[in-house]
Every structure is written in C-alpha cells, then in structure tokens.
Structure 1
Amino acid sequence: MLQNYLKIGFRNLAKNKLFSLINISGMAISIASFLVIALFVYDELQFDKHVQDVNRKYRVYNEHFTDDGRVMRGAMIPPPIGPTLMDEYPEVEAYARFMNFNSPVLFEAGDLKYTEDKGGCADPAMLDMFSLKLIEGDMETALHDVKEIAISQTLAKKYFGDKPAVGETLQVFNENYKVTAVFEDFPEHSHLQLNYFLSMQELLTTIPERMRGWGWSQFHTYIKLKEGTNAVQFDAKLKDFAARNAWPTTKDHGSYYIPHIMPMSQVHLHASDQKWDIAVRGNAQTIYILSATAVFILIIAILNFINLSTARAVNRVKEVGVRKVVGAFRSQLIYQFISESVVIAGIALLIGGLMTELVLPALNNFTGKSIPTGIFLNPLLVIVLLVATALVGVAAGAYPAFYISGYKPAQILSNKKSGRSGKTVLRKSLVVLQFILSFLLIIASFVVSEQHTYMRTKDMGFDKDNVIIVSLRGNMQTNLEAAKNVFANHPNILGATLQYGLPGEAFAGDGIRDRVTKKDLSLSMLLVDHDYIKTLGLTLVAGRDFSKDFPSDADDAFIVSEAAAKMLGHTNPKDALEHEVEWNRWDNPDSLKKGKIIGVVKDFHLNSLRESISPVVLHIYPKGYSSMAFGIRSEDIPATLAHLEATWKKFNTEWPFEYHFLDENFDKLYKDEEKLATLFTFFTSFAIFVACLGLFGLVVYSTSQRYKEISIRKVLGADDANLVFGLSKSYLLLIVIAFVIAIPVSYYAAEQWLQKFPYRIEVTYLLFVKAALLIMAISLLTVGIQSFKAARTNPVNALKEQ
C-alpha cells in the first residue's frame, strides 16, 4: 500500500512540474535556512558544557552603585572576594582567581623570542575549575610557588618542541619561570581562551596589602558550590557579605558594590552587560532572534505548501470521486495525500541538506566557528532530521489531505462544488499570515542593520580614524619624550602622544577625590601627555589644554569631561575650572597628587555605544604610560608603517614590531552587531523569497483558472493594464492587511530590542514605509509578471478550449 502511495505521489510531482518545483524549492530553502541557524544556535549553546560539575560552578561579578545614580556590572572584582567567600560560607567548595595581563608579554627560551598574550596570574585551582587536562605535571603541585608557570600544549610545542616542557625554564618579564604543568589547549567552546598562567603566589608575595584591598577590581573569580547548595539563596547572602567586608572601604567614598554569581555555562551568552570582560562573548538576543527567524521561515514554507495544495485541490477532486466510488476510504485518501507531502519534504530535505553543506564553510569563515560539515554522516542527526522531516511533511500536508478527501462523490461527479468558498477565505488568511511574518522579519532586519550602522558611524567625540598605536617596550622608556619625537619625525605623522588609556582599550578606574566634599569619585582615568587632546581630536569646552608653557601642569593639573564636571556639581563646565581634586599616586600610595582642574573636554566615548558615556579625568603621569599613538595621513600608509618599524628596530631588538589601528578596537566591539545584521539580512531575504515563491504559485494557479474570463474581457475591450490590475488587486489588498496587522507588533518588538542600547536609532514611520515599499515592489513584480503574461495570452486559444 505504501509503495502504491509513493508511486502515485511521484507521478503527481512529475505531472505538475511547476507546482512541484515551487513546493520543493521553497521547502528546501526553508529547511536549509533552518538547519544552518539550528547548527549555529546549537554551537552557541555548547559553551562550557565540557566542564565537569559545570552546574555547580559560577563566575562572581559585581554590581556597582554610585552616588550619582549610575549602576553598572563588572566582570572583574577585588582579589579578597574569592578566598573570603571560601572562609565565611561552608557552601563554597573551591575558588579560583585569574588576573589578566592586558598587553603582550615577551617570552624567551634559548634563542626563541615571541610575544604572547592571553595569559596572567592564576590560582592553582584554575586548572581544575575549567577541567583542563594536564599533559605534563601534577595538578596537586602546579602553580603553588612563586616563579612557576603553566603553559598550553601549543606553547610547549612552540618553545620546547617534542621534548618534555615540565622542568624547563621560560624567561618572562626578564625573569626565569619554571614550567610546572602543560595543559591541553582550552576547548573551542570555553568562554575563556588562555595560553599560560603565572602563579598567583607572585602577587601574594610582592603586593600583599593590595591583594587584601576591597577596591582593586582586577580579577576574574570563579567559585564551586557544594552539592545541593541553592544558588539563588546563596546569591541573596552576598549583599550582607559586601556590607560587612567591602562597604567600610568603598561606601563612604561615593560608591559601593554587591557581588552576584552567574552560572559558568551562561557567561558566554548572558554576560554582555558586564564591563572589563575577557570572555569569548556571544549574545543571547542574537540566539533568540535567529531562532525566531528560523521558525518563521519554516512556517512560511509550510503555509506555502498548504496554500498551493488547497488551491490545486479542484484539479484532483475527480480523482477523489472516482476512488471513493470504487471503494476507497477517506482515511486511505488522507494517507495518500500526507505521504505525497512527506515525499516532497524528503526531497526538500536532501536538497536543503546539500545547500547546508555548501553554506557551512562560509558561515564558519564569517563567524569564526568550526561547525562540522557532513551532517548526513552523523547517525543521530540523520535520525532527528528524518523524524523532523516527517513531522514537517505531516504538518504541511494534513490540512490539504483532510480538505481534498472531504469531497463527496455525488457532489464531485455532478460538478457541484458549493460549500467550499470558506476555503478561499482560509487561503487568503494564510497569505496574510505569510506576509505578516515576512514584514516582521524585514522590519527586524532594517532595525538591526540601521542600529549597527548608527553605532559604527556615530560621532564618538574623538578622531578614531588613521590613528596607529605602538606599545612602549624596552629602552624606549628610558627617555619617553625623546622616543616619541624620533617616532614622530616623519611628514606623514600629524601628531603623537604618550598615554595609558585609549578609547576601546584598557584604562585606569581609580577615580579622584573631591577636595571640597572629601568624597572619592568613580571615574575613568586616562594618563596622558601634553599632546593627547590634540592627537585624538578631543574638544575643549572650557579652560585650556595641558601646555609645556606651564611646567606645573605635570604636577598639579587635571582636565575632566563634561560628565565628570557634573559629578563635581558643575552643570556649567566653566564653573568646574579651578576646582581642587587629588589622586593617590601609583608609585607611592601614601603620596597624593593634588591640583586643580584647568580644562573641561566635551564628553566622548571610551567604550562602544552599548554603554553610557563614562565621566573621565585626564592628567599627566609619565610613570603610567604604556603606549604611543600617532595621528597619520591617510595617504601612503605603507611608507608610514615602514618608518615606524625602522625606528622601532633602532630602539629595541628583543621585541618584534607590533602595531594596530585605533578604529580596529571598535570594529571588535561591534563585531556581534555586524554578524547579527548580516546573518539576519541573509535569512530575511530567504524568507521573502519563499513567501513570494508561494505567492507566485497562487497567481499562476488563479490566472490559469481565469483564462476564459480574461479572454472574454479582452474581447469586450479591456486593455492589458486593467486586466493586470484586476488580477493583482486582491493580492495587494491581502498585503495591505498584513502591513496593518504587523505594524504594531513589529514596532513593539523593535522598541523592546533597542532598549538595551543607551544610544539608539528612532523607530520612525520611514522604517515601516521602506519595508512596505520593499514587499509591495517584490509582490507587484511577482504578481504583475504572471498577470501580464495571462493578460497577453491570445483570447482565441482560451475560448476554443472545451
């Protein structure tokens, strides 16, 4: 019986080639889109699933509150929090801290010299916290003493080849460190990707007081809770923990924080609002949006199938009548039509699977992932796909099957098909639903794309283009000003500055003390020289810039941003001039740098537009400088780089020449939005194509049913334009109805998504007009071509048909 059903199904596919092509291609594209998105989403959900006891491991972050009402979350916290939680709460089984080095470090082993990043100081428990497998060394003894280092398998191979690395020596910071462990490289789906750990004992020995301080937020800290611990109840205890331990140090000075815990498995997708993070970040909203897109595309394809099948039902009613007369049961007819639907879904699955295989390499290249191809070689995945395909086939074919099989033989054979007008209403409703979904996707695509463009192009308050950053290394620091002048001695270099703290990079968060109110203010701090403001193109709104004509500027002058001036109580920037502030010097914590504000700069963004503008203070402090920045001409950049490299080699032969452009920092910050915008536009285009494919099929069918009507109208004098309009207007009306229904839904969804951005586009009527015009144009083209073709048909051919 099944073989017979399949045989009839294939014959019907071959008999109705156009409709078969429309159904199969629409379903194949939808399945391919669904598969690609599903594989991407599945990959994103795998982060940290490999970690043993991951359901008991958490990252601690701080929620910071300031007197001026600002609230922000920080991924880095003070060093005492981990060990103190272990001491005070029996629920904590273990803790591990990691302090990241924010710049590359020179490694030496024999004649080999390379700069390495992705490393820092770590507690021994860090190895177990991330379930790192040791290739060499002992988990019980690694990283327990000063001058010890654990390195990845890649670094071990790089510096020591095939011989054992444990027991060997690596020179780091010009000091010898003993290799005590070699661990397998962090798995791809780990939210941390690190290459080496120096022992935390180094910091505990050299700066013990600072390691006990509750105000130095520089550590990523993880804890493991004991079996059976209620994480929500434990988190609720942390406010009291902070009040007892940290607030006496921080709250009286204008700010305080409350620690919270986040499951390790959620860090990749749900920590995007935490500042100063080094995790490999995804975005939960991206997952939600793409998942909804995949479902929408699949629903549109199913609706296409239902529409076309019910529309074509009239062509098969005689078949149904004859089969019922000769004894066929309705259930047999239903099985027949559903099996045909499953056949179409199966063929679409094969084509969609091949399309997925072709698309995956490009997706991996674009997203930086390694999603494996060969989906049909995975037995479990094949089973899931076959079951899913059968379900899709049944879902798509069930209604047409019940609809077609419901005709009565007498009604069919007497050529009376009354009572089916309600099916036309349903078919039109399905078309409306298709275009509602398409409209939602288009609006979402426009909003995501325009928000991304807005973030990339909005004035950040400084010049980020054509600025090159070079780190200070070796003997460059002997005479900083002389080194800067030598590098800047080239006609293509327009400006140069020394500093610690550039937009998009690490900067200090010490803050300053207001000498009037005696309160500490939580600010972003930039350590700069006399040329910083000019080189980066900051705008002075009050006072003056640092100047070598005022030698005392190095010792007692500060410049603040407008937001910082407001924190000091000055709405008018000019009123902030001469305001006295002070700062705890890094070189001598017991010594204060006291001075006055000499200038106020216009607010500018240190981070991406996902974050509100931070209040900023700038002052001259050569001991903190870490890099040079050069404003360059946009012409002949290779010659400029050649000059910088040649100058670099004169100063330092140990470190390789490395540089980057300032705008690259922001390219990285907006990478998630760029990926989402591109992927969303890509899949939305598929959704629109599938919807219009179905619309095309309906128009082909409806015009084929009205050829005689069209011919009679032409004979009576109707011109082509009137005929095209007559054939198109009903579909255009359906599209208008879809617009009206979709506008409030899409507006609400867009506003909700944009709420997470402090700086965002306005959702104006133009967005909806553009979306409406786009769908209208595509639909008119789809309907118009076929309608025009029908209108141009020779009426004689249609009227002589019986």
Structure 2
Amino acid sequence: MLQNYIKIGLRNLMKNKLFSLINICGMAISIASFLVIALFIHDELQYDKHVVDVSRKYRVYNEHFNDDGRTLKGAMVPPMIGPTLMAEYPEVEDYSRFMNFNSPVLFEVGTKKNTETNGGCADPSMLEMFSLKVIEGDAQTALQHPDEIAINQTLAKKYFGDQPALGEEIKISDDVLKVAAVFEDFPIHSHLQLSFMVSMENLNKEIPDRMQSWGWSQFHTYIKLKPGIDVGRFEAKLKDFAERNAWPTTKSYGSYYIPHLMPMENVHLHAVDQRWDIAVRGNAQTIYILSGTAIFILIISILNFVNLSTARAVSRVKEVGVRKVVGAFRAQLIYQFISESIIIAGIALLIGGLVAELVLPVLNNFTEKNIPTAIFLNPWVVLVLFLSVFVIGIAAGAYPAFYISGYKPAQILSNKNSGRSGKILLRKGLVVLQFILSFFLIIASFIVSDQHTYMRTKDMGFDKDNILILQLRGDMKKNPEAVKTILANHPNIISASLQYGLPGEAFAGDGIRDKVTKREWPTSMLLVDHDYIKTLDLKLIAGRDFSTEFPSDIHDAFIVSESAAKMLGYANVKDALQHEVAWNRWDKPDSLKEGKIIGVVKDFHLNSLRETISPVVLHIFPYAYSSISFRIKPENIPATLAHLETVWKKYNTEWPFEYRFLDDNFDQLYKGEEKLAILFTFFTGFTIFVACLGLFGLVVYSTSQKYREISIRKVLGAGDSSLIFGLSRSYLILIAIAFVIAIPLSYYAANEWLQKFAYHIDITAFLFIKAALLIISISLLTVGIQSFKAARTNPVDALKEQ
C-alpha cells in the first residue's frame, strides 16, 4: 500500500511540474535558511556548557547607583568581594578572580621574543573554575606563589617546542616568572579566552593596599555555590553584604553598589549591558530575532503549500470522486495526499540540507565561527531532519488532505459547488498572513540596518577619522614626551598626544571628588597631555585648554565634560570654572591630587551608543601614559607609517611595530550589530522570495481558471491594461490589508528592540512607506508578469478549449 502511495505521489508531482517546483523550491529555501539559523543558534547556546558543575558557578557583577539617579552595571568588581563572600557565607564553596592586562606584554624565552595578549593575574582556583585540564604541573598547587605563571598549550608549544615547559622561566617585562602549569587551550565555546595567567600573589606583593579595596573595580570574579543552594535567596543577601563592607567607603562619596550573580553559562549572551567586560560577547537579542526569522520563513513555506494545494483542489476533485465511487475510503485518500506532501518535504529537505552545507562555510567565515558543515554526517542532525520530513509534511499536507478528501462523489460528478467559495476566503486569509509576516520582517530589517548605520555615522563629539595609535613600548616609556616630539616630526602628522584612555576602549571608571562637599562623583578619567583635545578635535565650550604656557597645569588643572559640570551642580557650565576638585592618585592610593577646573568640553561618546554619555574628566598625569595618538593626513599613509616605524625601531629592538586606528575601536563595538543587520537582511530577502513564489503559483493557477472569462472580456473590447488591473487588484487589496495589520505589530517590536540603545533612530512613517513600496513593487512584478501573459492570450485559442 505504501509503495502504491509513493508511486501515485511521484506521478502527480511529475504531472504538475510547475506547482511541484514552486512547492519544492519554496520549502527547500525555507529549510536551508532554517537549518543555517538553527545551527548558528545551537552554536551560540553551547558557551560554557563544557564546564563541570556549571549550574553552580556564577560571575559576580555590580550594579552601581549614584545620588543623581544614574545607574550602570559593571562586569569588573573590587578585589575584596570574592574572598569576603567565601569567608562570610557557608553557601560559597569556592571563588576565583582574574585581572586582565589591558595591553600586550613581551614574552622572552632565550632568543624568542613575542608580544602576547589575553592574559592577566589569576587566583589558583581559576583552573578548576573553568574546568581546564592541566597537562603539566598540578592544578592544586599552581599559582600559589608569587612569580609563577600558567600558560596554555599553544604558548608552551610556541616557546618550548616538544620539550616540557614545567619549571622553565619566562621573562615578562622586567619580571622572571616560573612556569607552574601548562593547561589545555580554553575551549572555543568559553566566554573567557586566556593564553596565560600570572599568580595573583604578585599583586598582593606589589599593591597590598589596593588588594584590600572595596572600590577598585578591576577584577572579573566568579563563585561556586554548594549543591542545593537557592541562588535567589542567596543573592538577596548581597545587598546587606555590600552595605556592611563596601558602603561605609563608597556612600560617603555619593555612590554605592549592589553585587548580583549571573550564571556562568549566561555570560556570553546576557551580559551585553555590563560595562568593562572582556568576555566573548554574543547577544540574546540576536538569537531571538534570528529564531523568529527562521520560524517565519518555515511558516510561510508551509502556508504556500497549503494555499497552492487547496487552490488546485478543483483540478483533483474528479480524481477524488472516481476513487470514492470505486470504493476508496476517506482515510485512504488522506493518506495519499499526506504521502505526496511528505515526498515534497523529503525532496525539499534533501535539497535544503545540501544548500545549507554550501552556505555554512560562508557563514563561518562571516561570523568567525567553526560550525560543522557536514550536516549529513552528524547523526543527531540526520535524525532531526528525518523526523522533520514527517512533521513538515503532515503540517503542510493535513489541511489540504482533509479538505480535498471531504468532497462527496455525487457533488463532484454533478459539478456542484466544487469551488467551495468559503475556501477561497481561507486562501485569501493565508495570503494575508504570509504578507503580514513578510512586512514584519522587512520593516524589522530596515530598522536594524538603519540603527547600525546611525551608530556608525552619528556625531560622536570628536573626530575619530585618521587617528593612528601606537602603544608605548620598551625605552619609549622612559621619556614619552621626547619620543612623541620625534615621532610627530613629519609633514603628514598634524598633531599628536600622549594618554591613558581613548574613546572606544574598555577601561574602568574613576571618581572625582568635590572639595567643597567632600562628595565623590563617578566619572571616566582620561589621563592626557596638553595636545589631547586638539588631536581628537574635542569642542571646548568654556574656559581654556591645557597649555604649556601655564606650568601649573601639569599639577592642578582639570578639564571636564558638560555632563560632568552639570553633575557637579552647574546648570551653566561656565560657572564650573575654577571649581575645586580632587582625584585619588593611582601611584599613591592614599594621596589626593587637588586642582581647579579650567575648561569644559562638549559631551562626547567614550562607549557604544547602547550606553548614555559618561561624565568625563581630563587631567595631565604623565605617570599613566600608555599610548600615543596621531592625527595624520589621509594622503600617503604608507610614508607616514614608514616614518613611524623607523623611529619606533630606534627605541624598540624587541617589540614589533604595531599600530591601529581609532575608528577600529568603534568598528569592533558595532561588529555585532553589523553582522545582525547583514544576516537579517539576507534571510528577510529569502522570506520575501518564498512569499512571492507562492503568490506567483496562486496567480498562475487563478489566471488559468479565468482564461474563458478573460477571452470573453477581450472579445467585448476590454483592453490589456484593464484586464491586468482586474487580475492584480484582488492581490493588491490582500497585500494592503496585510500591511495595515503589520504596522502596529512591527512598530511595537521595533520600539522594544530600540529601547536597548541609549541613542537610536526614530521610527518614522518613511520606514513603513519604504517597506510597502518594496513589497508592492515585487508583488506587482510577480503578479503583473503572469497577468500580462494571460491578458495577451488569443481569445480564439482560449474559447476553442472551452
């Protein structure tokens, strides 16, 4: 019996080649899109799943509150939080801290010298916290003492080849460290990617006062809870914990924080609103958007199948009638039609899987992932695909099967009510639903694309173009001012500045203290030289810039942003001039550096447009300089680079010449939005294509049913244009209805998504008009071609057939 169903099903597919092709193509494209998106999402959801007891491990982050009502979340916390939680709460089984090195460090092993990144200081428990397999050494004793380092397998191979690395020495800057452990590289699905870890005891030895701080937020801190602990009840205790330990210090400065816990396995996707994070970032919003897109595409292809199958029911009712007359039961007819649907789904799924295999390498390259491309070699994927054939086949074929098999033989053979006008209304409803989904996706894709463009082009308050950055290395640190002067001595260099802190870089905030009220305000502190404002082209709106004509500027002058001036209580920023402030020095933690505000600059963005503008304070502080920035002419950049490299090599025989551009910082910040915009637009295009493919099939069928009517109208004098309009009008009305319904749905969804950004585009009528014009144009082209073909048919030929 099954063999017979398959044979008849294949025969019907070959008999109706056009409709079979439309169904298979639409479903194959939808399945390929669904597969690609599903594999991408599955990959994103794998982060940190490999970690042992991951359900009991959490990252601590702080929610900061200020008296002026501002709040922010920070991924870095003070060093005392981890050990104090462990000491005070029996619920905590273990903790681990990591402090990242913000810039590359130079590794020296014998004659081998290279710069390395992705490292910092870590507690010994870091190896266990991330379930890292130790290849050499003992995880229980490694990093227990100062001047020890743990390196990953890649670095061990790089510096020691096939020889054991354990016990060997690595020189980092002026420190000689002993290799205490070699660990396997962090898995690709770890939110933290570290190459080396230096013992935290080095910090305890070098800056013991800082390591007792409740305000120096520089550490990523993780805790492991004991089995059976109610994390909600435990987290509720953390406010009291902070109130007892941290608030006595921080509240006197007008700010305080409350620690919170984020499951380790959620960090990759759900920590997007936390500042000062070094984690490999994903975005849950991207997952939700792409999931919706995949489901919409699949739904549209199924609706296409249902629509075309019910539309073609008239051409198959006589077949049904004859089968019933000769004894076929309704159940047998249903099995037959569902078998045909499953055959189409099977062919489409096979083609879709092959297309997905071809697309996945491109997606991997674009998203910098390593999703396995051999879909049909993965037994789990094959099993899901096999089951999907039946699920999609039954979902798409059930209604048409029950609908067509429901005709009565007498009704069919007497040709009464074979069209079932009520079913025409259903088909129209399905068309409307398809285009509601299409409108929704295309409006959403416009919103995502326009928001990305807005973030890339919005005035940031400074000129980020043509700013080249060099890190201070080696002997350059001995006299950075002199090095800057020599490097800047080139006709293609307009200006240069020394600094710690540039827009687009991740660094923790600092506080500025009002000397009058003794209150400390959280700000972003930029430690700069006299030429910083000129080099970045910041806009001075009150007072003056730093100047070498005022020798005291290097000691007691501060320039603040307008937000910082208003935070200090000055509605008119000019009134902030000469206001006395103080800053806690980095080199002497217990020593305040006091001075006056000499200037106010217009607000500028230090971070992504997801975040509000931070109050900023600029101060000259040579002790902290870490880089030099150059404003260069866009012409003949190779000559400029050649000059810089020549001077660099005079001061750095060990460090390779490396540079970057400031606008690259922001390109990295918006990389996620850029990828989302491209992927979303790509799959939305597929959605529209699938919807129009179904529309084309319906138009082909409906015009074939109206050839006699069209011919009579032509004989009576109807012109081609009126015939085309008559054939297209009903579809345009359906598209218009879909558009009206889609507007509020897409507006609500877009508005919710945009609220994730502190600065975003406005949702204007033009966005909806643009979407309507695009859909209508494509639909008119789809409907118009077939309508024109029908209108140009010779009426004699059509009437002969009738």
The TM-score normalised by the length of structure 2 is: 0.99
**What whole-Å deviation, never above 9, does each CA across 1:454-508 have from its counterpart, x for those lacking one?**
0010000011111010011121122222100111111111110000000011445
- Secondary structure of 1:542's counterpart equals strand
2:512 partner amino acid: I
1:536 corresponds in structure 2 to: 536
- Secondary structure of 1:639's counterpart equals helix
1:220 corresponds in structure 2 to: 220
Contact kept in structure 2, 1:65 and 1:71, CA below 8 Å: yes
The 2-side partners of 1:95 and 1:430 are apart by 56
2:489 partner amino acid: N
2:45 partner amino acid: L
2:177 partner amino acid: Y
2:797 corresponds in structure 1 to: 797
Contact kept in structure 2, 1:252 and 1:519, CA below 8 Å: yes
1:392 corresponds in structure 2 to: 392
- Is 1:653 aligned to 2:656, yes or no? no
Contact kept in structure 1, 2:218 and 2:508, CA below 8 Å: no
Give 1:607-646 correspondences, 5 Å limit.
Answer: 607-646=607-646
1:234 corresponds in structure 2 to: 234
2:358 partner amino acid: L
Shift of 1:589: 2.9
The 2-side partners of 1:413 and 1:541 are apart by 88
2:142 partner amino acid: A
2:409 corresponds in structure 1 to: 409
2:676 corresponds in structure 1 to: 676
Contact kept in structure 1, 2:582 and 2:593, CA below 8 Å: yes
Contact kept in structure 2, 1:508 and 1:526, CA below 8 Å: no
Give 1:480-519 correspondences, 5 Å limit.
Answer: 480-507=480-507, 509-519=509-519
1:121 corresponds in structure 2 to: 121
The 2-side partners of 1:225 and 1:738 are apart by 52
The 2-side partners of 1:418 and 1:299 are apart by 28
- Secondary structure of 2:327's counterpart equals coil
**What whole-Å deviation, never above 9, does each CA across 1:770-799 have from its counterpart, x for those lacking one?**
011110000000000100010011111101
Shift of 1:375: 0.8
The 1-side partners of 2:376 and 2:566 are apart by 62
Shift of 1:419: 7.2
The 1-side partners of 2:267 and 2:592 are apart by 39
1:762 corresponds in structure 2 to: 762
Contact kept in structure 2, 1:64 and 1:256, CA below 8 Å: yes
The 2-side partners of 1:619 and 1:178 are apart by 38
The 1-side partners of 2:771 and 2:591 are apart by 62
**What whole-Å deviation, never above 9, does each CA across 1:414-450 have from its counterpart, x for those lacking one?**
1112571100000000000000000000011000000
1:587 corresponds in structure 2 to: 587
Cα 1:683–1:508, aligned 2, differ >3 Å: closer, same or farther?
Answer: closer
The 1-side partners of 2:485 and 2:795 are apart by 86
**What whole-Å deviation, never above 9, does each CA across 1:693-730 have from its counterpart, x for those lacking one?**
00000000000000111111111111110000000000
1:605 partner amino acid: H
2:287 corresponds in structure 1 to: 287
**What whole-Å deviation, never above 9, does each CA across 1:72-118 have from its counterpart, x for those lacking one?**
00000000100000000000000000000000000000000000010
Contact kept in structure 2, 1:515 and 1:580, CA below 8 Å: yes
The 1-side partners of 2:105 and 2:21 are apart by 60
2:143 corresponds in structure 1 to: 143
Bigger Cα displacement from structure 2, 563-572 vs 583-592 = 583-592
- Secondary structure of 1:516's counterpart equals coil
- Is 1:210 aligned to 2:207, yes or no? no
**What whole-Å deviation, never above 9, does each CA across 1:619-648 have from its counterpart, x for those lacking one?**
101111000000011111111111111110
1:78 corresponds in structure 2 to: 78
The 1-side partners of 2:200 and 2:419 are apart by 81
- How many residues are matched? 802
1:457 corresponds in structure 2 to: 457
1:102 partner amino acid: N
The 2-side partners of 1:287 and 1:256 are apart by 34
2:474 partner amino acid: G
The 1-side partners of 2:752 and 2:138 are apart by 51
- Secondary structure of 2:612's counterpart equals coil
The 2-side partners of 1:650 and 1:577 are apart by 43
1:302 corresponds in structure 2 to: 302
- Secondary structure of 1:617's counterpart equals strand
2:579 partner amino acid: H
Contact kept in structure 2, 1:113 and 1:654, CA below 8 Å: yes
Contact kept in structure 2, 1:500 and 1:507, CA below 8 Å: no
- Secondary structure of 2:209's counterpart equals helix
2:698 corresponds in structure 1 to: 698
Contact kept in structure 1, 2:48 and 2:264, CA below 8 Å: yes
Contact kept in structure 1, 2:341 and 2:396, CA below 8 Å: yes
1:261 partner amino acid: L
The 2-side partners of 1:243 and 1:469 are apart by 42
2:569 corresponds in structure 1 to: 569
Give 1:247-396 correspondences, 5 Å limit.
Answer: 247-396=247-396
- Secondary structure of 1:272's counterpart equals coil
The 1-side partners of 2:690 and 2:745 are apart by 22
**What whole-Å deviation, never above 9, does each CA across 1:112-135 have from its counterpart, x for those lacking one?**
000001000000000000000011
2:786 corresponds in structure 1 to: 786
Q: Equivalent pairs: percent with the same residue?
A: 77
The 2-side partners of 1:444 and 1:732 are apart by 22
The 2-side partners of 1:215 and 1:38 are apart by 43
**What whole-Å deviation, never above 9, does each CA across 1:271-303 have from its counterpart, x for those lacking one?**
000000000010001000100100000000000
**What whole-Å deviation, never above 9, does each CA across 1:144-185 have from its counterpart, x for those lacking one?**
100000000000000000111001110112221100110000
Contact kept in structure 1, 2:75 and 2:220, CA below 8 Å: yes
Contact kept in structure 1, 2:76 and 2:277, CA below 8 Å: yes
Shift of 1:192: 0.3
Contact kept in structure 2, 1:103 and 1:117, CA below 8 Å: yes
Gaps of 5+ in 2: none
Shift of 1:20: 0.6
- Superposed CA RMSD: 0.8
- Is 1:32 aligned to 2:32, yes or no? yes
2:553 partner amino acid: D
Contact kept in structure 1, 2:63 and 2:74, CA below 8 Å: yes
Contact kept in structure 1, 2:317 and 2:418, CA below 8 Å: no
Moved over 4 A (4+): none
1:715 corresponds in structure 2 to: 715
1:435 partner amino acid: F
- Secondary structure of 1:511's counterpart equals strand
Contact kept in structure 2, 1:321 and 1:408, CA below 8 Å: yes
**What whole-Å deviation, never above 9, does each CA across 1:503-548 have from its counterpart, x for those lacking one?**
0114452221111111111110000101000000000000110111
